[in-house]
Amino acid sequence: MSSTYSPDLRIELIGTGDQAGVWGATTNNNLAYVLEQAVAGYVSVSVASANQALTYLNGATATAADNQSVHASLALTTSTGANFAVYAPPASKQYTIYNASSYTATIYNSTVIGNTTAAGTGVAIPAGKTMTVWSDGTNFSQQNTHLISPTLASPTMTTPNLGTPASGVLTNATGLPISTGVSGLGTGVATALAVSVGSAGAPVVNGGALGTPSSGTLTNATGLPVATGISGLGTGVAAFLATPSSANLRTAVSDETGSGSLVFATSPSLVTPDLGTPSAATLTNATGLPIIAGTTGTLSVARGGTGVTSSTGSGNVVLSNSPTLVTPALGTPASGNLANCTFPTLNQNTSGNAATATSPQGGGSFITSLNIGSQSVNYASTAGNGGVTSVNSATGAVDLASLAAFAKSLGASGYQKFPGGFTIQWGTGTFAGSSPPGVVTPTFAIAFASACVGVYPTVVGTPSATYAIIVDSVTTTGCRFGLSYTSAPDYFYLAIGY
């Protein structure tokens, strides 16, 4: 029959009749590498991840690193740079662990040998500390939670429960609670000692603060500070009582106006006061009254005013007799005598007949008929005509070429614009390449404002064979077309858009 292994230390148990002549070596290995290491063995464990399982084997091995979990003492180091955890097999075991790292280490039982899933609670070993822990196979606990009559030489303990020691010297002890840490005090003494001097319920000491007594007679009391010894005063009142100046009074008063010194009734000197609207005042000796802001009503001409309440235009005030006006806008006067007036002609330097214009077409803002002398000009009312920019006053001809909507560029490649945005463009070029010549991508002379609706290329000259031109990739700025022909002739194209 084959060997089996004990559940906790995994000692090899030789089957009956097995390992004849060699069972002694197996037994010696169990003693040297399992039992001895479990009782007195030490191994250093280097932890390289936040969660790492201790190694564990069936049987014995001379390589300590392969069976870390069987050893009695462990020294933990880490390269993680953070707190970490190690996992022992799910078996009962006692360890003495020295955390040689700078981070907290926690030991758990794993649910299965070799994994890093905690089966129960663990124990945290602070950085640089040594602890003895034990496990029931699921949960780890501290080895000692109670000491009976110990004698400790300068120990450092964290929140220990000392119980009731037979004796002790607390010369350097701090934090002793008065209410529960001292016995034998009279009724209420512990409570009073715990209250800060000067607070309600504290004992009164010589030279101490009285706090807020429920009553008191201050007949013989002296030295009461106004600023801090009297309560209930408004903001700034204490400062005014101590130093009764105009500035301190202004601070103490909450509904004052203005600034400066306190004013009394007889002959005060006021600096830039705002009098508001006094019920009465005599300004006989007053100076500096501003006409615009300092008076109300309409100022008559006799008093240096205009006698009017509204005006238009700019310049000098105009009186009724023989005024001289500079470029006035007369509007539409009800009547007038223009016997001595002269009239500018259309070109501003020759005489001629007056020009008349018919009503705008459709009530819009575009003139449809313009009469200049004996000539008449008619053109359609469209928002895109760009406006007439040149009119011949002698013949009445309108120079359409000068309209903004008729912009053009004439040449081998060019364009012509029309009112409303309609545009024709054209261009020339040469098909280049081998057989067939391939494709060309001409760019339009200008970009169409909205869209190109058609491109129409043709070959210049008379080809010697049948050919076809294919157009695609049409945009507002150019297109592409190809020729199915064996030579590289010139081409011409028209493009139409808006």
Number of domains in the chain: 3
Global pTM? 0.36
State the Cα–Cα distance between residues 422 and 448, nearest whole angstrom: 9
- What is the structure's pLDDT at 466? 78
The reply to whether omega before 436 is within 30° of 0 (cis) is yes
Residue 82 lies in a domain: yes
Residue that finishes a domain, picked among 399, 430, 462: 399
Residue that finishes a domain, picked among 142, 172, 196: 142
Residue 268 lies in a domain: no
Concatenated DSSP letters for 39-91?
A: HH-EEEEEE-SSEEEPP--SS--S-GGGSGGG-SEEEEEESSSS-EEEEE-SS
From first to last of its 498 residues, what are the pLDDT tens digits of the chain? 689 999 989 999 999 889 999 999 999 999 999 999 999 999 999 999 999 999 999 989 989 899 999 999 999 999 999 999 999 999 999 999 999 999 999 999 999 999 999 999 999 999 999 999 999 999 999 987 776 766 766 777 767 777 677 777 777 888 778 777 788 888 888 888 878 776 777 777 666 666 677 777 888 888 878 777 788 888 888 888 889 998 888 888 888 787 788 888 788 888 888 887 888 888 888 888 787 777 777 777 777 777 777 777 777 777 777 788 888 887 888 887 777 777 554 444 444 554 454 544 444 444 445 555 555 545 444 444 444 445 555 555 555 545 667 899 999 999 999 998 999 999 999 887 655 667 889 999 999 999 999 999 998 887 777 788 889 999 999 999 888 877 778 889 999 999
- What is the structure's pLDDT at 250? 84
Residue 190 lies in a domain: no
Give me the CATH number covering residue 474: 2.60.40.3940
Residue 36 lies in a domain: yes
State the Cα–Cα distance between residues 475 and 454, nearest whole angstrom: 10
N-term to C-term CA, the chain = 101
Q: Are residues 363 and 451 in the same domain?
A: no
- What is the structure's pLDDT at 353? 52
Model confidence pLDDT, tens digit, residues 400-418: 545 667 899 999 999 999 9
Q: Are residues 115 and 21 in the same domain?
A: yes
Residue 487 lies in a domain: yes
Q: Are residues 368 and 444 in the same domain?
A: no
State the Cα–Cα distance between residues 315 and 326, nearest whole angstrom: 9
Contact predicate 124/105, CB 8 Å: yes
Q: Are residues 361 and 429 in the same domain?
A: no
Q: Are residues 43 and 138 in the same domain?
A: yes
Q: Are residues 23 and 111 in the same domain?
A: yes
State the Cα–Cα distance between residues 139 and 195, nearest whole angstrom: 46
Q: Are residues 415 and 475 in the same domain?
A: yes
Q: Which residues contact 126 (CB under 8 A, 6 or more apart)?
A: 99, 104
Q: Are residues 485 and 363 in the same domain?
A: no
- What is the structure's pLDDT at 362? 45
Residue 297 lies in a domain: no
Whole domain around residue 457: which residue ranges? 407-497
- What is the structure's pLDDT at 291? 72
Q: Are residues 385 and 417 in the same domain?
A: no
Q: Are residues 433 and 460 in the same domain?
A: yes
- What is the structure's pLDDT at 403? 62
Q: Are residues 392 and 474 in the same domain?
A: no
Residue 337 lies in a domain: no
> What percentage of residues in the chain have a pLDDT greater than 70?
82
Residue that finishes a domain, picked among 79, 112, 142: 142
Q: Are residues 36 and 121 in the same domain?
A: yes
Q: Is 384 helix (H, G, I), strand (E, B) or coil?
A: coil
Q: Which residues contact 487 (CB under 8 A, 6 or more apart)?
A: 435, 437, 463
Length of the chain (residues): 498
Residue 149 lies in a domain: no
